[in-house]
Structure formats: structure tokens, C-alpha cells
């Protein structure tokens, strides 16, 4: 092989090695990005786990806390305004949709109503103006073994000194859920401690005055299991 041919062959080999080196560098960059992405995902998972643990502690507090704050007296309303509020309340009873699924109204069970007023220390009901005549309705289902209570919270909103003050309801077990910690605890006890099938739990609840749909039961247990 001639000298010029050897030089050309070496040049081609050097070019191939450089191309291989560049490909390896690109792979290293991709791996670094992937590791960074995995690290970020793990951090987010840790934050999510901490949040779930806080929710679990909050649910336990809800189960143990049975006291209620005293409610200020509600002023009497004119007849016309009272009828208007009753009509608006009737509209509120219609089932709301949650991700395409209608919520059960549960007319069959015991019901308690609570007026929820702002508890901010800066709030003064005598100086505040009622923002809306129709109160915002929030529902929580409580399980007192074996007794079910439907709590209807009528949330009052006021405006005072350029600020809005709104009553706060007890925290629910899960976000956008109508079930409190006692309800979830009762459901989980029957399923995992007493080892009852879901169908028997549903029948048991129904025999005590509460109609629980099977998909709802599965969803609640799935969310609770993910917390534990």
C-alpha cells in the first residue's frame, strides 16, 4: 500500500472515531437530561407523599373532633326574600356533576343544617355587607357507627372594607369530596379490618339508611389506600 493511500485510510479512520465520539457525547447529554428528569419526578413524588400524609393526619383530626363553633343568630328575612331563598335552595338540591358523574342527593337519610359564617378576626358582621342572598351550599356525609348524618353547610359571604369574608367548612377527606374522615374510616374498617366484600358493605350501609353506589365505594377505598 502506497504512502498516500495509508494517509487517506488513516484520515477516514480518524473521521469515524470523531463521529463515534460525538455520538457518545450526545448520548451522555441525553442520559444527563433523563437523570435530571427522574430526579425531578422523585422530588415531586416525595412532595406528593408528604401532602398525602398531611391529609391522612387531617382526616384523623376530623374523626376525633366532634365540637362545633357557636353560630351567631340569623336575622329574620322578609317573606318575599325568604321565598326567593327557598326557591334558590331547591335549585341547589339538583345533582351536581363531577367529571361527568352525578352526585347522589341522599334524601333518605338524617340531615342537619349549619350556618357557616366567616371566622376571620378582622370580620365584623355588624359592619359587613352580605354579598349574595343565596348561600353557597357545601355537603359533608358523616358516619357515626352505625348512623349516617348529612351535614348541609350554608356558607355566608360578606364584603367589608374592600375584602371578601367567607365562612369555612370542615376539611373533607379528599379534594372535591362530600365524605368526611369518619365516613372513610368506617368504610375502610369494614373492608380491610372486618374483610367484608364491597357488595356486603353496600348492603350494610343501605340497611342503615345510606345508599352507596359501588363505583363510589371503590373510588373512595382506592383514594384512601393510596394515602396509606
Compute how many other C-beta atoms are within 10 angstroms of the C-beta atom of residue 160. 18
Q: Which of 102, 159, 81, 164 is nearest to 127 (CA)?
A: 159
The residue that leads in pLDDT, 20 or 167, is 167
- Residues 50-60 have a mean pLDDT of 68
- Helix, coil or strand: residue 25: helix
- Helix, coil or strand: residue 112: strand
- Helix, coil or strand: residue 155: strand
pLDDT at 97 exceeding the cut of 50:
no
User: Are the beta carbons of 62 and 182 closer than 8 angstroms?
Assistant: yes
pLDDT at 216 exceeding the cut of 90:
yes
pLDDT at 54 exceeding the cut of 50:
yes
Residue 223 CA, chain-centre distance (Å), reads: 10
The residue that leads in pLDDT, 211 or 58, is 211
Least confident of 3-12, 40-49, 112-121: 40-49
Looking at residue 99, what is its pLDDT?
Answer: 53
pLDDT at 137 exceeding the cut of 70:
yes
List the 147-155 sheet strands across, edge first.
110-116, 147-155, 136-144
- Residues in CB range of 133: below 8 A, 6 or more apart: 81, 84, 85, 88
- Sign of the torsion angle spanned by Cα atoms 207, 212, 215, 219: negative
Least confident of 45-49, 91-95, 111-115: 91-95
Query: For 169, phi and psi rounded to 5 degrees?
Result: -90, 160
User: Are the beta carbons of 120 and 166 closer than 8 angstroms?
Assistant: no
Looking at residue 95, what is its pLDDT?
Answer: 45
Q: How far apart are CA 148 and CA 208, in angstroms?
A: 8
Looking at residue 115, what is its pLDDT?
Answer: 92
Q: How far apart are CA 116 and CA 68, in angstroms?
A: 11
Confidence at 60, pLDDT banded by 50, 70, 90: low
User: What percentage of the chain carries pLDDT values higher than 90?
Assistant: 23
Q: How far apart are CA 141 and CA 212, in angstroms?
A: 11
Looking at residue 87, what is its pLDDT?
Answer: 63
- Residues 137-153 have a mean pLDDT of 85
3-state secondary structure 211-225: CCCHHHHHHHHHHHH
The residue that leads in pLDDT, 215 or 107, is 215
- The grid coordinates listed for 140 are 359533608
- Residues in CB range of 143: below 8 A, 6 or more apart: 180, 182, 183, 185, 186, 187
- How do residues 157-215 score in pLDDT, each as one tens digit? 999 998 889 999 888 888 888 998 888 888 998 998 889 999 999 999 998 889 999 99
The pTM is what?
Answer: 0.42
- Helix, coil or strand: residue 197: coil
Q: What is the mean pLDDT of the chain?
A: 79
The residue that leads in pLDDT, 27 or 125, is 125
Confidence at 68, pLDDT banded by 50, 70, 90: very low
- Residues 107-128 have a mean pLDDT of 88
Amino acid at each position: 500500500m502506497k504512502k498516500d493511500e495509508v494517509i487517506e485510510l488513516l484520515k477516514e479512520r480518524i473521521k469515524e472515531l470523531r463521529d463515534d465520539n460525538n455520538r457518545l457525547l450526545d448520548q451522555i447529554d441525553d442520559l444527563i437530561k433523563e437523570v435530571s428528569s427522574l430526579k425531578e419526578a422523585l422530588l415531586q413524588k416525595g412532595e406528593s407523599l408528604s401532602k398525602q400524609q398531611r391529609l391522612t393526619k387531617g382526616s384523623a383530626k376530623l374523626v376525633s373532633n366532634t365540637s362545633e363553633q357557636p353560630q351567631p343568630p340569623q336575622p329574620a328575612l322578609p317573606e318575599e326574600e325568604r321565598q326567593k331563598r327557598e326557591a334558590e335552595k331547591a335549585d341547589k338540591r339538583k345533582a351536581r356533576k363531577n367529571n361527568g358523574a352525578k352526585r347522589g342527593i341522599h334524601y333518605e337519610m338524617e340531615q342537619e343544617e349549619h350556618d357557616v359564617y366567616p371566622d376571620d378576626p378582622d370580620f365584623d358582621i355588624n359592619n359587613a355587607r352580605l354579598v349574595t342572598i343565596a348561600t353557597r351550599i357545601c355537603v359533608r356525609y358523616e358516619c357515626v357507627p352505625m348512623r349516617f348524618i348529612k351535614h348541609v353547610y350554608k356558607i355566608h359571604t360578606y364584603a367589608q372594607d374592600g375584602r371578601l369574608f367567607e365562612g369555612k367548612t370542615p376539611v373533607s377527606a379528599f379534594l372535591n369530596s362530600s365524605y368526611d374522615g369518619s365516613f372513610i374510616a368506617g368504610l375502610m374498617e369494614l373492608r380491610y379490618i372486618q374483610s367484608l366484600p364491597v357488595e356486603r358493605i353496600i348492603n350494610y350501609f343501605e340497611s342503615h339508611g345510606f345508599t352507596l353506589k359501588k363505583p363510589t365505594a371503590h373510588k373512595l377505598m382506592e383514594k384512601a389506600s393510596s394515602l396509606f
